[in-house]
Structure 1
Amino acid sequence: MNRLDAFKSIAAQASRGELTFPTSVDASLKLQQALSDPDCHIDDAAKLVQANPLLAARTVAIANSVAYNRSGNEIASVRAAVQRMGVRTLQSLVAALIVRQLGSSISDPLIKAKVAQLWEHTAHVAALAQVIARRVTKVDPDTALFSGIVHEVGGFYMLSRAAEFPGILDGEPEDWVEHGEQAIGRGVLTKLVIPEAVLASVEALWEGFRALPPENLGDTLLLANDLAPVASPLHESPGATSVQAARTIDCEIGEGTLNSIMAESAAEVKSLLAVLML
């Protein structure tokens, strides 16, 4: 089976909801569904998080990050962390856990390296998206964070299946962009029951049309993706936007500029990024 046929095969399965996840992902999906219940109380959410030591540690860490701890008062309990962040941010952390678990069973060094780079790219985009939402576009920061975390989930899923399809990583990045990214990504996002607003922002990223100054959630995600200092390994090519070119992106935002706002927010981005990379 050649590369394009492999993409089509995975995409067809994804469109039918026939997705193969590691056991750990299934457990995290159940947690995500529980948190999505509008009747899920803070105490219930805290108990669910405490059952997962890794998630519990990250929850407390992100609650103490610059992005959420404006007062400088550190907390040490999961319940206090959930109360500070809210269930919606907690859902983003669970989504991050799901995305990372997709690559947990990979043993091939080449694929593992791509998964590691893709997560580093994802973490940068998520952190930048949240700050851009809060400081520039004024869209909901929690939704922007969530969008950044899941925007490459189709790529993670493809990499988790790569060992089944020898040669799927060969060829040009354009093959993935044209024949795999949207078809597989949409199927995985649908299976994960991603909110419509988030799905629309990822679709805007696929289309690649961004307004300057950015205005909506799609623009927020696109700008964060452009500004991320680590590129997606699935999109790299000689013609890809370089980090140097990305740094030239600027526009007037109110009384300041995009570059000045991002410079002022560097500590916030760094703090959130550090938690996501744990």
Structure 2
Amino acid sequence: MDRLETFRNIAAQAGRGELVFPANINASIKLQQALTDPDCHLEAAAKLVMAEPLVSARTVAIANSAAYNRSGGEIDNVRTAVMRLGFRTLNTITTSVIVRQLGRTISNPEMRIKAAQLWEHSAHVAALAQVLTAKLTNGDPETAMFAGIVHEVGGFYLLSRTDEFPGLLSGGGSEDWAEYGEKIIGRAVLKKLGVPGPVVQAIESLWHGVRVLPPETLGDVLLLAKELSPVPSPFQRSPLEVGPGGETIVDEYIGDQSLLSLLEDSQEQIRSLTSALLV
């Protein structure tokens, strides 16, 4: 079976909802489902999180990041971290663990490097989207962070299948992915993870969207965050636009403040949130 046929077969399976997830991800998916249950209370959520070491570590790290720790008091336990963050952020953290686990199951060294780069890119996009939404729009920063984490989850899923299908992403595989599999596989995985419709629509806008400044929609924020990410996605490189005078996107003004100064003012918040996601 050649590569394009393999792409088409994986996309067809995904379109039918036949997704193949590594066994270690199922526990995290169950945790995610439990946290979205309206009958799940704070104490129960804390116990569920403590049973998952990866989720616990990231929960405490994010609770102590500059984006969430406004008082400066450091948290050293899961229960207090859960109280600070709330259920929506917990769901985002659990989803981030699921996405990252997809990359950690890969045995091929080259594909593991791609997965690590894709996760680092996603973490930067998530942190940037959170800050840009808070500073430039009337949107919800929590939703923006969640969207940044899952915006390339289809790519993680495809990378997780490369042990089964060696050579799938070698050579021109990334271009084939964009042409044959991104939309179908991406939509299927987003559906499996229970991603809300507005977030799915924002992610879909990345596949054919045009950047708007200042950003007006969640899709605009994601596209801007992807451009500003210091780590590119291994699937698609969108460099900062350079104008005729050598100016880049960060030189543009939004209202009475340049994008560069906004990023500089938010540098610690972006850095600490990105670091917490990369734990």
Name the TM tier (shorter chain): over 0.9
2:240/2:248 contact within 8 Å kept? no
Amino acid at match of 1:226: E
Aligned ranges 1:87-102 → 2 under 5 Å = 87-102=87-102
CA displacement 1:94-124 (0-9 Å, x = unmatched): 0110001112221111111111111111111
> Across the two proteins, how many residue pairs are aligned to each other?
275
Q: Does 1:211 align with 2:201?
A: no
The match for 2:278 is 277
Residue aligned with 1:30, SS: helix
The structure-2 alpha-carbon separation of the partners of 1:223 and 1:140, relative to structure 1 and needing over 3 Å to count, comes to same
Tell me the distance in 1 between the aligned counterparts of 2:253 and 2:236. 29
Aligned ranges 1:4-23 → 2 under 5 Å = 4-23=4-23
Tell me the distance in 2 between the aligned counterparts of 1:134 and 1:175. 36
- The answer for unaligned runs of 5 or more in structure 1 is none
Tell me the distance in 2 between the aligned counterparts of 1:115 and 1:244. 28
The structure-2 alpha-carbon separation of the partners of 1:82 and 1:247, relative to structure 1 and needing over 3 Å to count, comes to farther
The match for 1:149 is 149
CA displacement 1:38-77 (0-9 Å, x = unmatched): 2322222111101112211211111011000011111222
RMSD (Å) for aligned C-alpha atoms: 1.8
Tell me the distance in 1 between the aligned counterparts of 2:247 and 2:15. 37
- The answer for unaligned runs of 5 or more in structure 2 is none
1:25/1:101 contact within 8 Å kept? yes
- Shift in Å, 1:171: 3.6
Tell me the distance in 2 between the aligned counterparts of 1:241 and 1:176. 20
Tell me the distance in 1 between the aligned counterparts of 2:261 and 2:247. 12
Amino acid at match of 1:127: A
Aligned ranges 1:1-278 → 2 under 5 Å = 1-172=1-172, 173-236=174-237, 240-241=238-239, 248-250=248-250, 251-278=252-279
Tell me the distance in 1 between the aligned counterparts of 2:210 and 2:164. 34
Residue aligned with 2:18, SS: coil
Amino acid at match of 2:46: A
Identity among equivalent pairs (%): 57
Tell me the distance in 1 between the aligned counterparts of 2:163 and 2:61. 34
